[in-house]
Structure 1
Amino acid sequence: MVENDRPTTTVPVHSADVSLMINKDAGFRARAEITSGGLLCVAGLVSAILLSTAVLVHVAVRASRR
């Protein structure tokens, strides 16, 4: 058996809980956990989506003025 001499590191995990009750019988509960790297990836994807949407709107408005 070979022992691993590398120190173990733990990755910090961010978590969030949300609960929403619409009435007595209906509601919603969610929990999310994500690492810092995953949060950075999500932020990059959201930024890319917003930038591409802005370009599409600009092109659509410019085309309608012609």
Structure 2
Amino acid sequence: MATRPLSPLSTAPSAPPVREPVPAHPEEIKAVFEARLGRFATFQASARVTPAGVVTAGIAGTALLFGVAAVLRACLRR
């Protein structure tokens, strides 16, 4: 006897999807920061970045500064 697949709207229990952990990039840089302000306030942060991300952020920052310099130079000529 052949069985047919259940429809997506079936109420039959199904196993929850298994999520594999995301593999870390081999050259990933990690940072963790924690700051406490008195007894009641705590700030925690963590970041992950790759060397390519650092280079890209540097290029974007440089392009932004060149744009600001051009606008300032144009304003000062008037």
Normalised TM-score (structure 1): 0.65
Q: Name the structure, 1 or 2, with higher relative contact order (CA <8 Å, separation 6+).
A: 1
Instruction: Please give the alpha-carbon distance, in whole angstroms, between the structure 2 residues aligned to 1:33 and 1:26.
Output: 24
Q: CA RMSD in A?
A: 1.7
Task: Work out the number of aligned pairs and report it.
Answer: 54
Runs of 5+ consecutive residues of structure 1 not aligned to the other structure:
1-9
Give the helix-richer structure, 1 or 2. 1
Distance 1:59 1:22, change over 3 A: farther
- The sequence identity of aligned pairs, in percent, is 20
Question: Does the alignment pair 1:59 with 2:74?
Answer: yes
Give the strand-richer structure, 1 or 2. 1
Runs of 5+ consecutive residues of structure 2 not aligned to the other structure:
1-24
Deviation at 1:32, TM superposition (A): 0.7
Normalised TM-score (structure 2): 0.57
Structure with max Cα Rg: 2
